[in-house]
């Protein structure tokens, strides 16, 4: 499907919420004889491309898995490089994202992050909070099981039973629409503790393309696959 054809698809048929597990940065760098952080740097450039393409299509919510609760186990040099890349990404791209009416939100526990990272995240959230366009959720120090347990504890503290819609208000996504389409790059075939509650009826798409090579064309290819499916939500 060509770009112009996809742009003309009725927005009702497109996924409203796309979630992406951005995997393969390290392997991409290794294949090129470069240190792993070089892959993370190039992966950050793909974020801008995919955000722009998603916004242009009219996608309502884009959630990107940037750093999991388990990623702290990686070598300190890699973790520190990711933190620096995150700050640079915000410094370099925030004005463009804000000008394109994107709303930036952060999913996860921000407390363990260094102060300079916290300051950058707060700046991004504050600068875009009054925008009205696509929501860009950046999942940082995020774990789906941890999110559910935290939400359960909040509900218990409020001392009342909750239904599904009530429960959603306790999640990091705070009543955002559920995930329609979950993409994972790099050939891995697992969810890795990502948006477990929100993805209950998501269509899943796995590609062997490494994240730094996942460009606008690859996104359109994935969405074309999504459009070929019949979503029944348990019905016939």
User: What span, in angstroms and rounded, lies between the C-alpha atoms of 87 and 56?
Assistant: 25
Q: Over 21-85, what HEC string results?
A: ECCCHHHHHHHCCCCHHHHHHHHHHHHHHHHHHHHHHCCCEEEEEEEEHHHHHCCHHHHHHHHHH
| Cβ atoms 209, 218 nearer than 8 A | yes
- Identify each DSSP E strand in 114-187 by its residue range: 135-142, 181-184
Q: Which two tokens stand for residue 236?
A: 């016939």
Residues 6+ apart with CB under 8 A from 146: 69, 109
Q: What residues act catalytically?
A: 23, 71
């Amino acid at each position: 499907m060509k770009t112009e054809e996809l742009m003309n698809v009725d927005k009702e048929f497109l996924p409203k919420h796309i979630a992406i597990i951005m995997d393969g940065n390290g392997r991409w760098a290794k294949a090129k004889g470069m240190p792993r952080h070089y892959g993370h740097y190039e992966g950050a450039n793909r974020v801008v491309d995919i955000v722009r393409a998603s916004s242009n299509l009219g996608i309502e919510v884009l959630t990107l898995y940037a750093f999991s609760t388990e990623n702290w186990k990686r070598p300190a040099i890699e973790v520190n490089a990711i933190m620096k890349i995150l700050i640079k990404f915000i410094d370099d791209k925030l004005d463009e994202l804000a000008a394109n009416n994107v709303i930036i939100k952060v999913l996860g526990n921000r407390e363990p992050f260094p102060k300079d990272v916290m300051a950058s995240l707060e700046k991004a959230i504050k600068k875009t909070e009054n925008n009205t366009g696509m929501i860009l959720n950046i999942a940082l120090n995020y774990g789906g099981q941890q999110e559910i347990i935290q939400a359960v504890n909040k509900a218990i503290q409020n001392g009342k039973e909750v239904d599904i819609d009530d429960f959603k208000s306790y999640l990091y996504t705070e009543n955002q629409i559920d995930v329609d389409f979950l993409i994972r790059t790099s050939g891995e075939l697992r969810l890795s503790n990502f948006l477990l509650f929100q993805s209950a009826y998501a269509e899943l798409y796995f590609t062997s393309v490494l994240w730094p090579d996942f460009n606008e064309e690859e996104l359109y290819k994935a969405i074309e696959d999504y459009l070929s499916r019949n979503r029944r939500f348990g019905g016939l």
